Amino acid sequence: MFCFVLKSALLLGATVTGDTLESDKKALLNLKIFLEEHNRVNQGRYSEWNKSQTLSPCAWPGITCSGGRVTGVNLSSSEISGDIFGNFSALTALNHLDLSSNTIGGRFPTDLGQCHGLKVLNLSHNIISGELNLTRLNNLEILDLATNRFSGAIQLTFPAICNKLVVANLSTNNFTGTIVNGFDSCNNLKFLDLSANSFSGNIWPGFVRLQEFSVSENKLVGPISPDFFSEKCGLQVLDLSENSFVGEFPKEISNCGELVILNLWGNNFTGQIPEEIGNISGLQGLYLGNNSFSRDIPESLLGLTNLAFLDLSTNDFRGDIQEIFGKFIQVKFLVLHSNSYTGGINSSGILNLPNISRLDLSFNNFSGPLPVEISQMKSLKFLILAYNEFYGIIPPEYGNLQSLQALDLSFNKLNGSIPSSLGNLTSLLWLMLANNALTGEIPAELGNCGSLLWLNLANNQLSGKIPPELTNIGLNATPTFEQNRRSDRVTAGSGECLAMRRWIPADYPPFSFVYTLLTRKNCRSLWDRLLKGYGIFALCVGGVKTFQMSGYVQLSSNQLSGEVPPDIGKMLKVSMLNLGINGFYGDLPPEIGQMPLAVLNISQNKFSGEIPREIGNIKCMRDLDLSNNNFSGVFPTDLNNLNELSKFNVSFNPYITGVIPATGQLATFEKESFLGDPLLSLSSFINNSADHSPTIHDEKKSKRKLAKRDSILVFLALVVVFLVCGIVTLVVCLTVESPVEMPGYHLGDTNSQHDSISSSSAFSPWISDTVKVIRLDKTAFTHADILKATGSFSDNRIIGRGGSGTVYRGVLPDGREVAVKKLQREGIEGYLSRSMIPVAILGFGLGEAAEGMRELLKVGVRCTEDMPQARPNMKEVLAMLIQISSYQAHSSCGSSSPPSSHFDEGLN
């Protein structure tokens, strides 16, 4: 590592050979060679360092000099990966080293310990691991190691380096142990951030002499003593959030008269909120959420004229919103989510607050129509009412909220159409209306929302076409982002993580890391970056990766239809498009290949024609689902160019032909990605049929499989006995009466709303991945026939609906009719992706009852072999067959109803 080595030149009367600018240049060129060897593709500013004898290294990017020596190296955000360079100590005059925001890994290097002259060391936002030992760096003034993988205790470093230390940021690591006494001798320390670690035990009592102290998201326990807050308290920021502190919070906090931020969120504090907090005149942010404070809010808090952020969420207040909240006229951000409130929105007066910018009332029990009065809150930028019981229409007056940037009404019971007036919201970034009962068409006026990047209308009952004007959303969000960059930054509260989990889909690969690292601190950072338009993941535009901001469009699980407009190619800011589970038909426009998509889901629609080969140009595609459509023609091998593809499904497009390449990205997927495509030619290893020599593990696995199969055969034998009885009964009945058809279903009836054709409880483990096929005539269908029918619903009539799916009337190529049930089940975020596997064929022709039963057993056994993880309960299969057999015999003997009123339940 680069470091300043104290010389003895004055004592020896001579200069040690080699400590010159030329030696610094040589050390930097060695650093360049090291970095280029470890980073052959992406390279940072160091690649511009030149060997030219005439160019001083002081002119190189990232290099700072003083007194004719290299004193600073700044290689932050230079895409450096691999282990850290091991010879920075060759730069003997170095006092500033910044390697932040790279992906440098490996263990903490011992070479850094020789850099005695370092004053600033910034290694934040890397993946460096190991225990921390900086005992020789006693000249450090600023130490930033945030967001790495350091572990162990901190006693090896503190208090050894405390002599001149002013700033220490150790947040978001894996440090453990106690912090008591660790910083007692750090007399110059002003800023200490220990958040998002695993420190345990009691709090360090000396924190009150700092200016900023954060120990949030740790495992600290115990009460906060009143003795901590002496009259010498100099704190400006105190963050104790997300620990396990208990008891009443001391009123002596008022001795910290310079406090700007007080964050107690997420502890076990009880009792009254100290009214003495009202004496801290400069307080701007008060975060008291997720505790057990008393419902009584002190009147003294109204005197905090600078208070901008008030968070009292998750305190189980219940009932009506306290009327005192309607008096906080100075507050800009009011966060009251997760309190089980049932009323008081109007009576509390909060809708009359003149300065409210963010109002978060989500996760409560509010009901009734949405308050029209909200439209008068002209300063409102974020309206978050998700997860309540609101019903009725969305007031058209909400289109008057010209400053609105986020409207989240998801997970309510709203109905009616989306107001066209929302097209007036030109600053809108987020529109979240998912999981309601909205009907009608998507208003074309939404295309006027030039800032709208994140649109989620999933899981409603919307119909009609996608208006071509909708492709204009998000094309110009820059004015909104620039406005947010100019505004004063206020520390985020507690609602960001909850909102972002709704606003950023869990099935969105570029954001998947967010869900594993979604601490409150990260939420604050991501929230701030998103609002200001700074991208947080690489996006492919024209084959080039960029960090520009991108959004998504989610329209899944509605009743939309028509063709996708070719203008879809204009949506150059959309990286996720989900149109799944609708009724779209026609060709998928090739212009879709112009979008910078990471996720494309068009499953369970009626698209036809060829799959556009242009999709193969979307180099950053990670998740592609084309399943359950009517695509035909030759499969485009251009999709093999999608080198980042991690999820792929083209199942149940039975008219696709061609060959799946034996090498490349497509060859990495299993046969489940190609089910129901009988005309596709797959490699043997995709079919899982490649030859291999048996191993001991294989033999054991085979024995277990045979044992399980033997058990199934025993059950099948019992089933045969019951079938014989059923057939005998049928023969007897045939001499008495002629057959009747299955009640509730008439093949020509297009309006039947019965759901007698249902999924068996025996197969319930795979209900979301199956299609149940019921035979309604007297001719036998082969397995191939069923496969052909399941993928073609475009010209078929609906003959029944039920809670679990829709039954279609299908016609095979030879004219035979079949009823096919396409099952549906809602998943996370309404995002559904599944295969349709024919599981059961039930014969209801009188002379073919036994044949139908045998077919059921045969297909059932085959499916248990294909899907061993979801084997049906054979006892339940047996009971179902007995019941069906009884029904056959009963209906054949002249009854028009099944022998039990629970016949449908037996099938369900």
How far apart CA 153 and CA 181 sit, in angstroms, is 13
3-state class (DSSP) for residue 438: coil
Which regions of 125-243 does DSSP assign to beta strands (E)?
Answer: 129-131, 142-144, 149-152, 167-169, 174-177, 191-193, 198-201, 212-214, 219-223, 237-239
Closest C-alpha among 652, 370, 430 to residue 554 = 430
State the alpha helices, DSSP H only, in 152-229: none
- Quick one: 888 exposed, middle or buried, by C-beta within 10 A (0-12, 13-18, 19+)? buried
Closest C-alpha among 842, 838, 837, 847 to residue 881 = 842
What count of Cα atoms within 13 Å lies in the side-chain half-sphere of residue 787? 16
In the chain the first and final C-alpha atoms are separated, in Å, by 69
How many C-beta neighbours within 10 Å does residue 449 have?
Answer: 25
How far apart CA 799 and CA 559 sit, in angstroms, is 17
How far apart CA 855 and CA 862 sit, in angstroms, is 11
How far apart CA 898 and CA 891 sit, in angstroms, is 7
Can you read off the two tokens belonging to residue 115? 């850099």
How many C-beta neighbours within 10 Å does residue 324 have?
Answer: 15
Can you read off the two tokens belonging to residue 87? 């010879």
Label residue 862 left, alpha or beta by phi (over 0 means left) and psi (-120 to 50 means alpha).
Answer: alpha
CA distances from 202 to 174, 245, 264 (A): 18, 9, 16
* φ and ψ of 890, to 5 deg: -65, -45
Can you read off the two tokens belonging to residue 437? 């009962």
How far apart CA 698 and CA 702 sit, in angstroms, is 6
Helix (H) or strand (E) holding 638: none
Q: What is the DSSP letter of 400?
A: G
- Tokens 């409150």 belong to 520
In this structure, which amino acid lies at residue 398? Y
Closest C-alpha among 156, 145, 162, 62 to residue 104 = 145
In this structure, which amino acid lies at residue 837? I
How far apart CA 501 and CA 392 sit, in angstroms, is 26
Q: Is there a cis peptide before residue 159, judged by omega within 30 degrees of 0? A: yes
Q: Is the dihedral of CA 473, 478, 481, 486 positive or negative?
A: negative
Q: Is 822 annotated as a binding residue?
A: yes
Question: Most distant CA pair in the chain: distance in Å?
Answer: 125
How far apart CA 44 and CA 74 sit, in angstroms, is 11
How far apart CA 164 and CA 52 sit, in angstroms, is 39
Residue 667 C-alpha from the chain's centroid? 27
DSSP result, 46-109: GGG----TTS-GGGSTTEEEETTEEEEEE-TTS--EEEPPS-GGG-TB--EEE--SSEEESBPP
CA distances from 656 to 311, 630, 649, 680, 774 (A): 56, 8, 13, 6, 25
Spell out the residues 6+ positions from residue 599 whose beta carbon is closer than 8 angstroms to its own. 507, 508, 509, 552, 575, 576, 577, 578, 621, 622, 623, 624
CB 481 within 8 A of CB 455: no
CA distances from 745 to 543, 750, 754, 811 (A): 53, 10, 7, 16
Can you read off the two tokens belonging to residue 152? 């162990």
Q: In what order do the strands lie in the sheet with 413-414?
A: 367-368, 389-392, 413-414
Annotated binding site for ATP: 822
Q: Annotated binding site, which residues?
A: 822
